[in-house]
Structure 1
Amino acid sequence: MSGLSRRTLIGAALALGACESRAQPAVPIELAPLRAAAPFPLGVCAQVSHIDDPEWARLAATHFSQLTPEWEMKMEYIVQPDGTFRFDRADRLAAFARTNRMRLYCTTLIWYAQRPEGFETLDEDRVSFGRAYDNYITAVVGRYRGQAVGWDVVNEAVAEDGEGWRQSLWASRLGDFDHMRRAFDVARAADPDAVLFLNDYNLESIPRKLDTFQRLVDRLLSAGVPVTGLGCQSHIDASLPPGAYTRTLEALARFGLPIHVSELDVSLVRAGRGPRLEERQAALYAEAMEAFMALPAHQRFAFTLWGLRDKDSWLKRENARDAPLLFDDFGQAKPAAAGLAQALGALKR
């Protein structure tokens, strides 16, 4: 879509929608089911509290064909202080996906930010840290073998400023590079068919971080590590310059691996007080979809939104004024949804 046509679209969508201060659009924006229009899986994240909400469940099942557990499949929920595992909520999310004909995508196995007590207080006389690490990955991946189409195996490995890799409990105990290699190798043994992803964020806005991420991918692949997909989280804000998102996906595409737009949202609050923020937000959703659709078909793994309605978003919990998603608090489509839907051919009006 040309820049002129995108501006025309967004202007029309904004005329249909409400300005930022309104509770609901004056004239609803009507979407055809997005999942039917997308020639690839269209994903959304969820918590158990969401699937228990009938309105959320209806909206998600209408528009999305892939489900990612937002946090209840992460160590912070699964690993108990005594080192045992709990899967009750993850199992419920997996069941919801099956019932609604959604693929299940899982995040995340190894994340620098998590240091479960069960690992920190591990009794090395009973089991080594490395064996406990392997056992965790094997147990979690193995439980959803045949259901999960892919995993974020290593999440956010690159330092925020792009200067090397992050320090973590896993790196300190098993080695900066070796803990990553080990995670992928164990995950591959636990599920030979799942696509295994290296996933990170701010690749669009910090060029040095994107460069370091690519060098890490090169090193992992050169070492024979079974990285079979690349995740671009895409937590962006409305101030991101036009074209930056497209250039990021083009850079990642050079590896020839499947690409997952894994956690897309577009913050208004983090963009500051610039003009026409809703218009810029809608244009970024449109650009992200267009850039993804421009990838070769075999590289379009999935396009996932990190939340359904604004009130479901982690950004809304961070700042109540934010409105980063496609649907407002009431489940009504916003201009952002119109931008994305137009790229898919799913905009009714």
Structure 2
Amino acid sequence: MKPVRLITAVLAAAALSLPLAAPAAAGPSPDHRPPDHPRHSKPGTLRWAAPDGFVIGTAVAGGGHHEEQDYPDPFTSDRKYRKLLARHFSSVSPENQMKWEYIHPERGEYDFGMADSIVEFAERNGQDVRGHTLFWHSQNPAWLEEGDFSDEELREILHDHITAVVGRYAGRIDQWDVANEIFDESGELRTEDNIWIRELGPEIIADAFRWAHEADPSAELYFNDYGVEDVNAKSDAYYALVQDLLAEGVPVHGFSAQVHLSTQYGFPGSLQENLRRFDDLGLGTALTEVDVRMRLPESGVATPEQLEQQSDYYEQALSACLNVEGCDSFTIWGFTDKYSWVPVFFEGEGSATIMDGRFTPKPAYFALRSTLLEAGGGGRPAPPWAGRGR
């Protein structure tokens, strides 16, 4: 196994002294150039460092918990945020703006405004889009969860939602998280808190994939979950389900691990092995919501040792993906601590992203960039081990 190059303190300090490449303007461009066009890939940025065909993405902050914070909507109000979003990433994922409660607030009524803005932004800046999500147990609107519907009505509601949302962006969204977090930690289906599975049975999962495929035959359709980084009961459940669905001809194209990590729990040592077994089924694989949180000292500021451990986790996760041929997408769940979800949901923890609250890159940023370059990015030829294990 070829050792992964670690960022030394000297290299990190030298890199920090260099300014980040000037970000792309948030305004419209005269054409929709592909992501690898020089206009979008400026030297020194993450998307420039990525090998050809490898997508480096981030969540677009907004909706959900952001609406309860003391700052305006990040995507629409923070110009520097948008510039860095365009400059460093070749893919974007709406953090909350395509979830049911946001995009389908009332029965038969859709609010596509913010989702449209994100897709249009991505097109202006040569970025892919990952759609998130169509079938989930959380962040559903009250009218759905508290409604009194027959089974036939529920099927119609889900079918209409998938058809409307996926169909609206047909040919414009590359991958969809169709079914999100459908298993619990023991590998059992969420038959209590997932309204679709509870009321309509497990068979509805296959229907969701079929309906999404009908709405956009060009989109890749994924299962997505947390806690499935290792080979364990939960990822085993997905592995078995995927094989059954593929045998039935259900259009399942990929499996993605979210990779929400914490330094206090250790790194998932079988991540690469787990991705590879799904790859062996012919599926695409992806890491879709990567962050590495830590328990902060009383000062609220991460120590150099914590930041170094964090950078190592980010680097290991990226390397695991790069070493699996079908893993061509690595998305972090927000790139700045300024808008991270972590402190809101994990008391006493934070500093989970690759830039601090002032958009200053951390060691993790440089670890990612170095690893991407080593894999053949930045115009360099790919090394012989890339995509085949090292």
Question: TM range, normalised to the smaller chain?
Answer: 0.7 to 0.9
Root mean square deviation, CA, Å: 2.8
Which of 74, 90, 107 does residue 50 from structure 1 map onto? 74
**Aligned counterpart, 1:41:** 55
1:261-340 alignment runs, 5 A limit: 261-269=287-295, 276-296=305-325, 299-318=326-345, 319=347, 321-340=349-368
Q: CA deviation at 1:127?
A: 7.0
Deviation at 1:247, TM superposition (A): 3.0
One-letter code aligned to 2:321: F
Aligned length: 332
Letter of the 2:333 counterpart = W
Q: Is 1:135 paired with 2:165?
A: no
Alpha-carbon distance in structure 2 between the residues aligned to 1:99 and 1:215: 40
Query: Structure 1 residues 121, 161: closer, same or farther in 2, change over 3 A?
Result: closer
| Counterpart AA for 1:339 | A
Deviates more, 1:30-39 or 1:40-49: 30-39
TM-score by length of 1: 0.86
**Secondary structure in 1 aligned to 2:199?**
helix
CA distance in 2, matches of 1:309, 1:126: 43
Percent identity for Structure 1 against Structure 2: 33
**Contact 1:78 1:87 (C-alpha < 8 Å) held by counterparts:** yes
Deviations 1:241-263 (A, max 9, x none): 37343333233322221112111
Equivalence for 1:259: 285
Question: 1:282 is aligned with what amino acid?
Answer: S
Give the Cα separation in 2 of the matches to 1:62 and 1:153: 28
Give secondary structure in 1 for the equivalent of 2:174: strand
**Which deviates further from its counterpart, 189-198 or 81-90?**
81-90
Report the more deviating stretch, 219-228 or 259-268: 219-228
SS in 2 for 1:276: helix
Task: Using the TM superposition, give the Cα deviation of residue 30 of structure 1 relative to its aligned residue in structure 2, in angstroms.
Answer: 6.0
Q: After the TM superposition, which residues 90-129 of structure 1 pair with which residues of structure 2 at under 5 Å, given as runs? A: 90-120=115-145, 122=147, 124=149, 128-129=153-154
Is 1:237–1:270's contact at 8 Å kept on the other side of the alignment? no
Matches within 5 A, 1:1-349: 2-3=2-3, 5-6=5-6, 9-12=7-10, 27=17, 32-38=44-50, 39=52, 40-48=54-62, 49-52=73-76, 53-120=78-145, 122=147, 124=149, 128-162=153-187, 164-167=188-191, 168-175=194-201, 177-204=202-229, 207-238=232-263, 239-241=265-267, 243-269=269-295, 276-296=305-325, 299-318=326-345, 319=347, 321-345=349-373
Gaps of 5+ in 2: 22-43, 63-72, 379-390
Is contact 1:14-1:279 (8 Å) kept? no
Q: State TM-score, norm by structure 2.
A: 0.77
| Distance apart, 1:237 and its partner CA | 1.6
Q: Which amino acid letter does the alignment assign opposite residue 35 of structure 1?
A: R
CA contact (8 A) 2:132 2:177 kept: yes
> Which has the larger helix fraction?
1
Q: How far apart are residue 270 of structure 1 and its match? A: 8.9
Instruction: Give the 3 Å change call, closer, same or farther, for CA 288–201 of structure 1 in structure 2.
Output: same
* Structure 1 unmatched runs, 5+: 18-24
